[in-house]
Amino acid sequence: MMGIVAQKDVASGCHTDNVNKYLVLVVLKMGLDAAVLYMCYRKRYTSFLSMCSLSMVLADFVMVLSFSSVLFLGRDRYLMSLCFVLAHASATYEALPLPMMCLVLLDYCLEGTCLGKQSTYSKILRHTALALLVWILVIFSNGSVKSDLIQMDFPGGISALVCDVQESTQISYFTLGLFFAVICAMLPFWSMIPQWVREADRLSVAREKRENQSDLWSTPTNCNCVETKGIEEKSLEETIYPCPPLWFSIILGFSLFWMPYLTVSVVGILLDFGVPAYITVNLLWLECTNSLLMGAVFWANSNTEGPYRLPENVCDWPIYWHLSKGTQQQPFPPTVFNPPYEKRHTLLCV
C-alpha cells in the first residue's frame, strides 16, 4: 500500500502535509498499547509475553519521537525523513508477529520444566535478552526496505508524494482464519450456547463469593468453613446436561471476550481498509493471540492435570474447565485458586 506524505492541488495552489496526521495516529496507538499493558499485566516481566508487550510500548514511544523530530527539520528534509520512518516502521512491525508468537508458545511449554522454575531475576534476564534479540533480528532484516518518495499525478491537477508502506498480511490471514474457525466451531452447538453462558456466569459468581469470604482463610476454627461448604454444595447441586466438551468450552470462553475485536478487524479487512503494519500489530492483537495459545496449552494439560493453572489472562480458563465437567462436585477447591498472599499468611500463622 502507499502512504500519502504530502499532496498538492495545482489549480488552487493548496499544499498539504500529512505529518501531523501520522503523529496523531501513532500517539493514539501508543496510548492504546499503554492502556492494555496497564490493565492486562499485573505480574510484569515474569513471562516472555509481558516483556514483549513492554518492548512494543517502548517501540511505539520511539516511533512517536521519530515522527515528532521530523517536524523540526527543514521542509526539504522532513518529507524524506517521514517516508524513511514510515517505510522502516511498517516493515519492522510486519515481521514481528511470527517470531514473537513462537517464543511465547515456547515460554508456556517450558513452564513446567527446570527452565520454568528459575528465579524471577533469571526469568527477567532471559526474557529481556530474547525480546532484544527478536527486535535486533527484525530490524536488521529490513535493510533492503525502499524508502524513496514517489510522485503520483491524479486527474484534476492533483499530485501527491507517496511512500511504500507495508501491511501485515500475517495478521490479516490469521484474523480471518480465526474468526471463521470460531464461527464454524459454534454452529453445531448453537442452541446450547445461551444455556452454557448462563452456567459459566453462575460458576463465576460462585467463585467470586468464595474468594470474598475471608473467614475461609483466616478463621482458626472449621465451623464456618463446613457451613459455607454445605451452603455452596446445595446451591451448586444442579448440573446442566449435556455439558460441552472441553475443547468447545475453551473456544466459548475465548469467543465471549474476543469476538468483538475479531468482528471489527474482519469488517475492516473485508471493506479493504488499508491499515499499515505499525498500527495493526498492537497489544490488543498480541493479547488475543496469547489467549488463543494459552487456551490451547490449557486444553492440552487439563486432560491430565485438571484445571491446569497458567499465568494471568483475560480469559478465565478454569471456569470453562468446570463448565465442561459439570458441577456435581465442589467446583473451586483451594488448590485451584490461590488466596491472596496476606490471607494465606494469616492462615499459616494460626
Tens digits of residue pLDDT in 161-219: 778 888 888 898 999 999 999 999 999 888 888 888 888 888 888 777 776 764 444 44
Q: What is the pLDDT of residue 304?
A: 65
CB 142 within 8 A of CB 86: no
In which element (H, E) is residue 247 found? helix 246-270
Residue 348 has pLDDT above 60, yes or no: no
Q: Enumerate the β-bridge partners of residue 6.
A: 17, 161
**3-class SS letters over 3-24:** EEEEEEECCCCEEEECHHHHHH
pTM exceeding the 0.85 threshold for the entire prediction:
no
Taking the C-alpha atoms of residue 152 and residue 162, their distance in angstroms, rounded to an integer, is 7
Mean pLDDT of the chain: 76
Domain residue limits, the chain: 2-165, 175-349
* Mean predicted confidence (pLDDT) in 282-292: 90
Among 134-143, 267-276, 299-308, whose mean pLDDT is lowest?
A: 299-308
* Mean predicted confidence (pLDDT) in 151-158: 73
Residue 70 has φ and ψ, to the nearest 5°, of -70, -20
- Please return the burial class of 291, using the count of CB atoms within 10 Å of its CB with bins 0-12, 13-18 and 19+: buried
Q: What is the pLDDT of residue 7?
A: 73
Residue 15 has pLDDT above 80, yes or no: no
Kindly report the CA angle at 89 between 86 and 95, in degrees rounded to 5?
Answer: 135
Residue 30 has pLDDT above 90, yes or no: yes
The DSSP letter of residue 153 is: E
For the packed helices 283-305 and 246-270, what is the interaxial angle rounded to 10 degrees? 160
Residue 52 has φ and ψ, to the nearest 5°, of -60, -40
pLDDT tens-digit readout, 295-307: 888 888 776 666 6
What is the SS3 assignment for 2? strand
Among 27-41, 176-190, 308-322, whose mean pLDDT is lowest?
A: 308-322
Q: What is the pLDDT of residue 262?
A: 93
pLDDT tens-digit readout, 208-255: 777 676 444 444 434 343 334 443 444 444 455 678 888 898 899 899
C-beta neighbour count of 293 within 10 angstroms: 18
- Please return the burial class of 48, using the count of CB atoms within 10 Å of its CB with bins 0-12, 13-18 and 19+: buried
Contacts of 11 (CB under 8 A, 6+ apart): 156, 157
pLDDT tens-digit readout, 110-128: 766 666 566 777 778 888 8
CB 295 within 8 A of CB 253: yes
Q: What is the pLDDT of residue 41?
A: 67
* Mean predicted confidence (pLDDT) in 129-134: 88
